[in-house]
Amino acid sequence: MGGSFDPVHMGHLVIAQDAVERLELAELVFIPAAIPPHKQHLLQVEPKHRLNMLRLAVEADIRFSVSDIEVERGGVSYTVDTIRALKEKYPKDELFLIVGSDTLVDLHNWHRIDELLAQCQVATFLRPGEAELEEIQRKIGLSGEQKQRLLANVVETHRIGISSTEIRMRVAEGMGIRYLVPPEVEMYIYEHGLYRG
């Protein structure tokens, strides 16, 4: 499960739990991007802070782990490169890429998408405020066979209306974020003065 995680919040963790249970995963690995290709123009906190917050958020749950593979590689994080590296490290494991339905309709724009789809299964989780499956299906800009493979792995999840953007805004405006992020993450944000403006 990749992303900016700027910061990680309860919505991410609920989707991760649903993914482990619905897909019967042995482990779910959170992989924060060094620089997400679609967010290069946005200011983010340093990758080390996003990694630290993720580690704090999942340390008590043995089903979850955090990888620094993209942060260590540096530069723009392309998922295809990460999946290839994970396939080399775990050649016998079946890999699933967890995405939201907003990402599903944009996959055709991803770097080397054909190679990525050949290396792993993509499991899509429907999130709050997103369109119904029929509408999503119309928007997928990939070939018929790829489209059918993607649609076979669409999973309903708990719809938690929390966003990292909202959390950053709330911190900048001096509003509370308790119950939106794990307590350890809330403390880390305040201790390190993140998102203050």
Largest CA distance in the chain: 50
Whether omega before 7 lies within 30 degrees of 0, making that bond cis, reads yes
Domain count, the chain: 1
Whole-number pLDDT of residue 120 = 95
In a domain, 90, yes or no: yes
Between 161 and 92, residue with greater pLDDT = 92
Helix 47-58, helix 183-191: angle, nearest 10? 150
Q: How far apart are CA 28 and CA 116, in angstroms?
A: 18
Q: What is the pLDDT of residues 163-179, one digit of tens each?
A: 999 999 999 999 999 99
Which domain does 144 fall in, by range? 2-190
In the chain, % of residues over pLDDT 90? 66
Task: Report the C-alpha dihedral over residues 49, 170, 127, 45, rounded to 10 degrees.
Answer: -20
Q: What is the pLDDT of residues 85-116, one digit of tens each?
A: 999 999 999 999 999 887 888 888 999 999 99
In a domain, 195, yes or no: no
Q: How far apart are CA 48 and CA 144, in angstroms?
A: 40
What is the separation, in whole angstroms, between the first and last Cα of the chain?
A: 28
Cα–chain center distance at 4: 7
Whole-number pLDDT of residue 161 = 86
How far from 161 is each of 1, 11, 126, 166, 168, CA to CA, in Å?
A: 18, 7, 12, 10, 15
- Return mean pLDDT, the chain: 90
Look up the CATH number of the domain holding residue 101.
3.40.50.620
The position carrying tokens 């019967």 is 24
Whole-number pLDDT of residue 5 = 95
In a domain, 81, yes or no: yes
DSSP annotation of 34 reads: S
Q: How far apart are CA 16 and CA 20, in angstroms?
A: 6
Is residue 40 over pLDDT 70? no
Between 156 and 117, residue with greater pLDDT = 117
In a domain, 197, yes or no: no
Cα–chain center distance at 178: 21
In a domain, 196, yes or no: no
Q: Name the pLDDT band for 42 (thresholds 50, 70, 90).
A: low
Q: How far apart are CA 110 and CA 112, in angstroms?
A: 6
Q: Name the pLDDT band for 130 (thresholds 50, 70, 90).
A: low
Q: What is the pLDDT of residues 45-69, one digit of tens each?
A: 899 999 999 999 999 999 999 999 9
